[in-house]
Amino acid sequence: MSYGCMFYAFAQLKIPLAEAIGVASSEILAAVTGALLIQAFLAPLIGVWIDKYGALAVMTRGLMIGAIGMAMLPAINTLWWVWLCMLPIGVGFAMSSYETAFSAAVQMDEAKARRHISYITFYGGVASSVIWLSIAPLLAWFGLHITCLICAAALVFMALRTRHLDRVLPFRLPSDDPKVLAPFSWALMTRNERRALVALASASALEYLTFASTTLLWITWFTAQFNDVGLAVMLAALYGPFQTVGRLLEMRFGQKFDARVTGMIAFIGVPTALVLAQQDGLIYAVVAMMIFGMGHGVLTVSFGYVTNMYFSADVYGRAKGWITTPRALGNAIGPSVGGILFLMGPDIFFGSMIAIGALSAASFASLFLAPPRKIDSQAIQ
């Protein structure tokens, strides 16, 4: 829900926001980049909060903060107001993203973390797809103000839901005293833990740079390719449903394989999709978006669970926080980097994205040189 309302929505909200203010849509994307940078700066601190107070408590507050930002966003038609509203949106997104949800899954039942992470990403993908497909008709029927209020209301609803779950689920903090935390530092890590931290941080940073660069530019690319805005929106929208398909496949069959193996298969799919997207013909575009969506869908699960293969529940939040900082930086600068590269030429844009994707895959592959910790046989898969 947070991804749908506080990230994906801006692929379509950026145009009416820019028109209302009288600026270029790139100015709105710059503000979105600023909001995403907040996650990079706050991630280590949020990781500490997760390990201290529990992920669901952090998520509840993040969803409410994000709702405030979304509700305020269209109130004043000036660029400085958009930047101001991006502060609560960025903080809310940082506190309620997949990283926080994955931490909740690990904290509640570490032995079944992979299955629960798959469920979270599956239902999250459904919610994001619904929001992605709903924004355009909502804008057409009700306009910018009401659409933003609907997004805010959806975030409030989810905040109430996570608050309820925080009360009823059998969640256990590592310690009865939130001031007491399991030690976590670079000096205390084993060699394999350090390797895993570096590999996951670099792989996710490069992967999300590719993801953010392409996701907000698919409509632009397909419009230029087929000269049909409606068709471009439909093609770009395929990402959401097939992201959910990828997560469904992971949920159904992934338990049979090492999560690093399924992650590598997904990594291969992303550059394959970028190559296909450049080919002439509608069928290539459709297949490209199917593979692109499924690949990223599986990778979301992989990044969430593989971290738990190396870091236990009592330090998972802080490990995720360290990993999230470079990932969030990649995600934040992606729209701007992608826009600059696309202006230089589609060939340069796609070539760069494929190269970055290959580097990301190579970083992830280095995990095979770092054996994971010994954990329950049901969780190791």
How far is C-alpha 276 from the chain's CA centre?
A: 23
Per-residue pLDDT tens digits of the chain, which is 381 residues long: 676 777 777 877 888 888 888 888 778 878 888 887 887 888 889 988 888 888 889 999 999 999 999 999 888 888 899 899 999 999 998 898 888 888 888 888 777 777 778 777 777 767 777 776 788 788 889 888 898 898 899 899 989 988 888 887 765 555 555 556 788 888 888 899 999 999 999 999 999 898 888 877 888 889 888 888 888 888 887 877 888 888 888 877 777 888 899 999 999 998 999 999 999 889 999 999 999 989 988 888 888 889 989 988 888 888 988 998 898 888 878 877 888 888 898 899 999 999 999 999 999 999 999 898 876 544 444
Structural domains of the chain, with CATH: 2-172+188-369 (1.20.1250.20)
User: What one-letter code names the amino acid at 316?
Assistant: Y
Count other Cβ atoms within 10 Å, centred on residue 181: 17
Torsion angle, CA of 113/116/122/124, rounded to 10 degrees?
A: -90
Residue at token pair 């004043």 = 76
CA distance 25 to 27: 5
Count other Cβ atoms within 10 Å, centred on residue 366: 15
Residue at token pair 């059998």 = 170
Q: Please work out, in degrees rounded to the nearest 5, the angle formed at the alpha carbon of residue 300 by the alpha carbons of 296 and 302.
A: 110
Asked if residue 37 lies in contact with residue 161, where contact means CB atoms within 8 angstroms, the answer is: no
pTM, whole model, 2 decimals? 0.79
Give residues with Cβ within 8 angstroms of 325, minimum separation 6.
40, 41, 43, 44, 201
CA distance 201 to 207: 10
User: What one-letter code names the amino acid at 21?
Assistant: I
